[in-house]
Amino acid sequence: MSYTKSILVFWACLAGLNMLFSQSDFEGLGESSFAINTDVNSTYKINFAVRSRYFLYQNANFNFENRQLDFVHFSTLNLDYNHSVSLGVQYRIRESIDGGSNELRLTQQFNFTKKREALRFGHRVRFEQRLLEDFTILRSRYRFALDFPLNGEKLDIGEAYLVSSMEALISHSKRLKPELDHRTTSLIGWLISESLKLQLGLEYRFEAFNLNTEHRLFLLTSAVLKI
């Protein structure tokens, strides 16, 4: 019986992937990142990250094509054990890679987290100003996330953990109609050492679903180093 169920689940997954890849508005991308986190003191920390995004599947064909490169900085102030505020700045390079517009992005963030035994959940609100070459996009984001270790109630070195989240986004601009997006993300991470985490996962995006929905599946890989 369990063997039959496994076969059915396997074929259902294949059917789902086939439906995705057969859509004309579907694209598959990858995003790899390397981040460094540093605690300046007990209440203030900083983060630096470099991210590379690239196409893996587009126009009904598998191919590798670089799309953009991001340089990101965040400064975070802990208000108490559960609440924090952050300011971020990001520069995106596209013009010299695929001909798109370079972008300067400013971010203001409020984060609330709470832990119940092994489970930690968080609410995150972000406001972004995306400064492109010819116009500016104002974007608001809300994310709900859960994470927990896969072995026991405490994450030890060498063990894995799971992070899942759902995020809603709305973008405004004088040049464009308001756009609604939705993202669902699931990552498996490994605590390699006290200072290093590796993560692998998928993110599915419904972009501009109030206008002309575009479907994008991201393969996410990342390394986080704490110094």
Tens digit of pLDDT for each residue in 49-83?
999 999 999 988 999 999 999 999 999 999 998 99
Q: Tell me: the pLDDT tens digits for 103-117?
A: 999 999 999 999 988
Backbone angles phi, psi at 81, to 5 degrees: -65, -30
The structure tokens listed for 54 are 């690239």
Q: Tell me the per-residue pLDDT of 145-174, one tens digit each, with 9 for 90 and over.
A: 999 999 888 889 999 999 999 999 999 998
pTM of the complete model beyond 0.85: yes
19 falls within a domain: no
Any domain includes 21: no
The verdict on residue 75 lying in a domain is yes
Average pLDDT of every residue of the chain: 90
- The predicted structure's pLDDT at residue 14: 44
DSSP-derived pairing of the beta strands 26-39 and 214-226: parallel
Q: Residue 212 — pLDDT band, cuts 50, 70, 90?
A: confident
Predicted confidence at residue 103, as pLDDT, reads 97
CB 147 within 8 A of CB 117: no
Separation between Cα atoms, residue 207 and residue 124, nearest integer Å: 20
Are 163 and 184 in contact by the 8 Å Cβ rule? The answer is: no
Residue 24 confidence (pLDDT): 58
Does residue 107 form part of some domain? yes
Higher pLDDT, 57 or 14: 57
Average pLDDT of the residues in 123-131: 98
Euclidean distance between CA atoms 197 and 160, whole angstroms: 10
**How sure is the predictor about 23, in pLDDT bands with cuts at 50, 70 and 90?**
low
Average pLDDT, integer, range 193-213: 93
Please state, in angstroms and as integers, the Cα–Cα distance from residue 127 to each residue in 49, 141, 142, 183, following that order.
19, 6, 9, 16
Q: Strand pairing partners for 44?
A: 77
**pLDDT higher than 70, residue 19:** no
Per-residue pLDDT for 127 more than 80? yes
Instruction: Report how many domains make up the chain.
Output: 1
189: CATH:
2.40.128.140
For residues 26 and 31, give the distance between their C-alpha atoms in angstroms, rounded to a whole number: 16
* Element (DSSP H or E) covering residue 12: helix 2-22
Whole-angstrom distance, CA of residue 84 vs CA of residue 36: 19
In a domain, 48, yes or no: yes
What pLDDT shows up at residue 7? 45
Residues forming beta bridges with residue 222, ordered by sequence position: 33, 199
Of 162, 198, 200, 202, the C-alpha closest to 183 is 202
Tokens found for residue 113: 């987290």
Does some domain include residue 53? yes
Instruction: Give the three-class secondary structure for 99.
Output: coil
Range of the domain at 112: 26-226
**Is residue 84 a part of any domain in this protein?**
yes
Residue 176 pLDDT class (50, 70, 90 cuts): confident
Taking residues 142-147, what's their average pLDDT? 97
- Domain membership of residue 35 (yes or no) is yes
Over its C-alpha atoms, the chain yields an Rg (Å, rounded) of 19
